[in-house]
Amino acid sequence: MPVKGNVIEIFDSVQGEGKYAGVQQVFVRLAGCNLTCSWCDSSHARDPRTSGAVAMEPLEVWAEIDRNWRGSHSVSFTGGEPLLQKDFLKEILPILKVYKTRVFLETNGTLPEALKEVIEDIDIVAMDVKLPSSTGCAAYWDEHVEFLRVAWGKDVFIKIVISSGTTMADMVQAVEMISRGDPATPLFLQPNHFDINNGVIHKCREFQQYALNYLSDVRVIPQIHKFLNIR
């Protein structure tokens, strides 16, 4: 029997973050997350029991992707945290490869063992580094380091949400982690949309100036889908 995915929604829209901001994608939003970030804008996706998720077989998901395709750049698996459903991904991703469809993984970068099982069928890794001073969660430095070790070799970029509580100490540790692996990895500093009027833009610029001492590509880009008022 095929492994079913807990799917909240499948839709086409414009990517609003990071390196591929502005491209058209089909989004597959999966339910469930292992974190509870204070600024999360997808809190409805945390708990599969209350998210309204529907159990779907891989071929059903592919049919919905195909229906929404319309010349899209790639398929974005998002959440929640998609790697919590690695067994489902292991079945749906090879189907996408058959049709030469690029796979974009949106992930919090805390589940390296799960990534190892699906990395061969992923093209783009959009990794959110979770700074404890921003999220209110525990630190995941060891998990992030191992995750990047697995992901490098693919098209990887890193995002960090910057809030009014984000500390320079956390930024220093994040920059050191990236520079030790590949200092050419693009880093995107995202002002927390809910904090946009609380000095967070200035903080992003300060962090950008620091990071550019060690990394070659550091950009401050807001979540454009928030300003466009789209999903």
pLDDT of residue 40: 72
Q: Residue 41 — pLDDT band, cuts 50, 70, 90?
A: low
Q: Which helix (H) or strand (E) holds 219?
A: strand 218-220
Query: Which sign, positive or negative, has the C-alpha torsion 192, 23, 124, 67?
Result: positive
**Strand pairing partners for 191?**
162
Which residue from 179, 103, 166 is spatially nearest to 132, judged by alpha carbons?
166
Beta carbons of 16 and 225 less than 8 angstroms apart: yes
Domain boundaries, the chain: 5-228
Starting at the edge strand found earlier in the chain, the sheet holding 124-128 runs 54-56, 5-14, 24-30, 74-78, 103-107, 124-128, 155-162, 187-191, 218-220
First vs last Cα of the chain: how many Å apart? 33
Which residue from 150, 169, 166 is spatially nearest to 220, judged by alpha carbons?
166
Q: What mean pLDDT comes out for the span 41-52?
A: 68
Compute the distance between CA of residue 7 and CA of residue 222 in angstroms, rounded to an integer.
27
Q: Would you tell me which CATH number, out of the four given (3.40.50.300, 3.20.20.70, 3.10.20.30, 1.20.140.10), belongs to the domain 5-228?
A: 3.20.20.70
Compute the distance between CA of residue 10 and CA of residue 28 in angstroms, rounded to an integer.
5
pLDDT 10s digits, 90-131: 999 999 999 999 999 999 999 999 999 999 999 999 999 989
Q: Residue 135 — pLDDT band, cuts 50, 70, 90?
A: confident
Highest-pLDDT range among 57-71, 133-147, 188-202: 57-71
pLDDT of residue 137: 83
How far out from the chain centre does Cα 137 lie? 17
Compute the distance between CA of residue 90 and CA of residue 73 in angstroms, rounded to an integer.
21
What token pair was written down for 91? 């079945």
33, 207, 209, 210 from 213: Cα distances, Å: 34, 10, 7, 6
Where do the H-state alpha helices sit in the chain? 58-68, 86-98, 112-118, 132-135, 141-151, 168-181, 200-211, 224-228
Residue with tokens 């580094």: 129
**pTM of the entire structure?**
0.93
pLDDT of residue 44: 64
